[in-house]
Amino acid sequence: MFLPFGVKDAIDIFLVAVFLYYVYRLMKMSGAFNLFVGVLTFLGIWVIITQVLELPLIGSILDKVVGVGAIILVILFQDEIRRFLVTIGSHQRWRSFVRIFSIKKAPERKKTDMTAVILACLNMSKTKTGALIVIENGISLEAYKRTGEKINAEIKTRLIENIFFKNSPLHDGAMIIAHGRIDSAGCVLPLSHSSNIPKELGLRHRAALGISQETDAKAIIVSEETGKISTAYQGCLNIGLTPERLEQFLAYTNNSI
């Protein structure tokens, strides 16, 4: 005899599937996927020992470990939990949902700003001038802006190149673009500890990936060693972008510039 299956059950299964998929993506891009699989494996072993084999001694030991499992999970996945809560709290997510039902033409100023960033990156790529540009999105980067120098200037190609000029005191840090302006420069960003980053990449790439994991910001990197242009967004690092792909990346994110 089949159990009754209604609309609520379908919604319940769908929400659980979405949640598990999101957790899977979060763990994979943060480099903690193997640790997450280890936790699931431990829980599977605990169920087999206590419910199937019914071994009392080892079962009682595992019961006590599972009893404090919530605290252990918070310690192990504190960065991932923080990132999950920050993402949920981002009001940009809700604005993106609203945009689905509204059509709004982006102002010409944003296209001009996008062109200025692209030209600056291409020029710095030719001269192998290292650069790290971060574009603020829904989550505020105020904490990182305070680590650098306040600029509050229009987005201009020459200004970007001058800030990242090798003899400039601000060239080693990150530039943060927010609300259509260059907000700050020389900023310090969190470094990603992911083991998936190629060893030949430097701190700029790790910082770009780190800020994309901690927030919903987008980052553009120009390598000082190779001159290649890379981007980081949502914990994913794309290396060696062509000018066309860089333009597509910024066109997709031009609501933030």
CB atoms within 10 A of CB 10: 10
Q: Quick check: 104 pLDDT over 80?
A: no
Can you tell me whether residue 175 is helix, strand or coil? strand
* Averaged pLDDT, 236-247: 88
Pick the more confident residue, 204 or 38.
204
- What pTM value is reported for the model? 0.64
> 164 falls in which pLDDT band (50, 70, 90)?
very high
Percent of the chain whose pLDDT exceeds 90: 27
Q: What is d(CA 211, CA 219) in angstroms, rounded to the nearest whole number? A: 8
Pick the more confident residue, 107 or 240.
240
> Lowest-confidence range among 65-74, 128-137, 207-216?
65-74
Q: Quick check: 31 pLDDT over 70?
A: no
Using CA of residue 144, residue 146, residue 148, residue 154, what is the dihedral sign?
A: positive
CA angle 187, 201, 115 (to 5 degrees): 60
Residues making up the chain, counted from first to last:
257
